[in-house]
Amino acid sequence: MANVGFVGLGIMGAPMAGHLIDAGHTLYLYDVKPVPAELTGKGGVACASGTEVAKNADIIITMVPDTPHVAAALFGENGIAAGLSAGKIVVDMSSIAPVETKEFAKKINELGCDYLDAPVSGGEVGAKAASLTIMVGGPEGAFATVKPLFEKMGKNITLVGGNGDGQTTKVANQIIVALNILAVGEALLFASKAGADPAKVRQALMGGFANSRILEVHGERMINRTFNPGFRIELHQKDLNLALNGARQMQMALPSTALAQQLFSTCAANGGSAWDHSALVKALELMANHTVAPDA
């Protein structure tokens, strides 16, 4: 069993840390908010800072919202870096910028430690079910050491390449998800305004080549009007910003991604930053003067 540090215990981090405790590992925990009682109640050790976490743990995991939060957790006052000693492994499971990830890895390597970027897909549901997809960038040796921990948090675990490649894969994932939501929203809205029953259209499409996880899960949300967040629009906007900024740096165009981002911005302008990202369909509905289904 390993001594594991976990920094960032929100809707994703808390259940992920809980699975590691359940597996018998000793967890040293820190968050800017109080450590959840359900984790300390199961044996997790609450720490006063990231530095304290890093001093006690051999593998330190971060799971925080965005690039600046990772920078602060690692290198800020009382941060993880101050508690590291040679031979430890830092694993960032947040979804952040690939370029900055490479810089973070270099700084951690200079302290004699390995660094893995290991962002996840699957949302809160996947975190609770330990069924996350985990996309990893970093050295093979560190990956082999940490993989047993990943297996307690996820199902589809892939070492993609070097540092930054895990984050690049996550950005690609978010492009695909956004464009699938857009496609499903357009299709169901078209069918509904044409007079067809969108629920039956969805059922028919699920038996053919158009089927997808987005059609299954988010198509149902669009029809049932259940836009309480599993993954908030504002978080998907952050991920698409990473894609668009990266594309600008590489001097390439992502026109469909830019369109999806503008539709998310339309939702945000109408009070929808905290809606589930399936609510992108509401931007399309505004332009069509029609809804996929009546609001409850």
**What is the set of active-site residues?**
170
What region does 106 belong to: left with phi over 0, alpha with psi -120 to 50, or beta?
alpha
b/e for 143-177, b at 16 or more Cβ within 10 A?
Answer: bebbeebbebbbeebebbeebbbbbbbbbebbbeb
28 phi and psi angles, rounded to 5 deg: -105, 125
Q: Which residues are 130's β-sheet partners?
A: none
Q: Helix, strand, coil shares of the chain as percentages rounded to 5?
A: 55, 15, 30
Q: Which residues are 46's β-sheet partners?
A: 29
**Cα dihedral value 191, 194, 197, 203, nearest 10:** -30
Q: Exposed, middle or buried by CB within 10 Å (0-12, 13-18, 19+), for 85?
A: exposed
Give the span between the Cα atoms of 179 and 170, in whole angstroms: 14
Q: Which residues are 5's β-sheet partners?
A: 28, 60
Give the span between the Cα atoms of 127 and 259, in whole angstroms: 29
Q: Nearest CA to 25 among 34, 35, 12, 16? A: 16
